[in-house]
Amino acid sequence: VCLAETPPADFDEMANIVGPYIAPHEVANCKIAHRIDLIEEGNWKLTMENNRECYHCSLNHPELTASIFEYGFGFDADESDPARVAQRQNYDVMVEQSCAAWDRSGFPSAEIGQLDNVVSGYRIGRMPMDRDGESQTLDTKVACRKLLGQAKEKRLGDLSFHTQPNSWHHFMSDHIVTFAVLPLGPDRTLLRTKWLVHRDAIEGVDYDLDNLIQVWRETNLQDGRLVGLAQAGAATGGYTPGPYSPQTEGQVEQFVNWYIQRLAAHLA
């Protein structure tokens, strides 16, 4: 939904690019299985900045990191650490091989994005998941027996799609999770999360609701606490802004660049 009198001229261009990635999941044939509205005690911008970096994930998100690789979300290896560099190189090879296979099966996968050089900023790409690699669940297996759309196999990775300034989404073979950030005030933010499954899926038969939502329910609560701590820290007299890490905060910087550019355009 765009409330601007004049919508961004490049929105259709973005939609045309990401459309083929999303189409095989057939969102129109899905239904909302569950929704959670979470109030975070922090500014909406802190919510987005927390989402745009993954340095905190390994220490704070045990449920989420059961399935995701840190290198898929803006975390680059420090060149001074040979072991980490080797891990990143191995991950890149796995991504290349997986994407080639998914492309052949009709699921576009190569990462593409323009996060800070267009008005309708976005990033989309399909990434392999860890262990069984089927879905973002604690056991990394599908949460729903009925697969989505054109999916013929369970291991279709995680199609990660996020847009500036306030949403991110995960598309898997069995379900979709969508997130929207809505400011409620200078220090309060609503995070709305929805879980989508096949429209014919039956709770208790095809999926267990707690298993479906557990990973992101817990991850959101953990992130909410981090956002609250960041808000409290930024409000203290001793807070001093610092530079962004080139290894872990590249997407944070792109988000801030986009935000500053939009403010400048509005005030011009």
Q: Does residue 5 belong to any structural domain of this protein?
A: no
Q: Does residue 108 belong to any structural domain of this protein?
A: yes
Q: Does residue 2 belong to any structural domain of this protein?
A: no
Confidence band, pLDDT 50/70/90 cuts, at residue 6:
confident
pLDDT tens-place string over residues 33-92: 999 999 999 999 999 999 998 888 888 999 999 999 877 666 666 777 788 788 888 888
pLDDT at 71: 75
Q: What is the spatial distance between Cα 5 and Cα 13, in angstroms, rounded to a whole number?
A: 19
pLDDT at 74: 62
Q: Does residue 6 belong to any structural domain of this protein?
A: no
Residue 132 sits in a domain whose CATH number is 3.90.380.10
pTM for this prediction: 0.95
| Domains of the chain: total | 1
Collect all residues with Cβ–Cβ distance below 8 Å to 242 and sequence separation of at least 6. none
Q: Does residue 4 belong to any structural domain of this protein?
A: no
Domain with 23, as residue range(s), is 11-235+244-267
Q: Does residue 68 belong to any structural domain of this protein?
A: yes
Q: What angle do helix axes 44-51 and 209-234 make, rounded to 10 degrees?
A: 120
pLDDT tens-place string over residues 118-157: 999 999 999 999 999 999 999 999 999 999 999 999 999 9
The answer to whether the beta carbons of residues 254 and 70 sit under 8 Å apart is no
65: which 2 tokens?
């990191």
Instruction: Using alpha carbons, list the distances in angstroms from residue 243 to 136, 229, 240, 250.
Output: 32, 19, 10, 11
pLDDT at 4: 78
Q: Does residue 210 belong to any structural domain of this protein?
A: yes
* Residue 148 Ramachandran class (φ > 0 left, ψ -120 to 50 alpha, else beta): beta
pLDDT at 245: 85
Q: Does residue 3 belong to any structural domain of this protein?
A: no
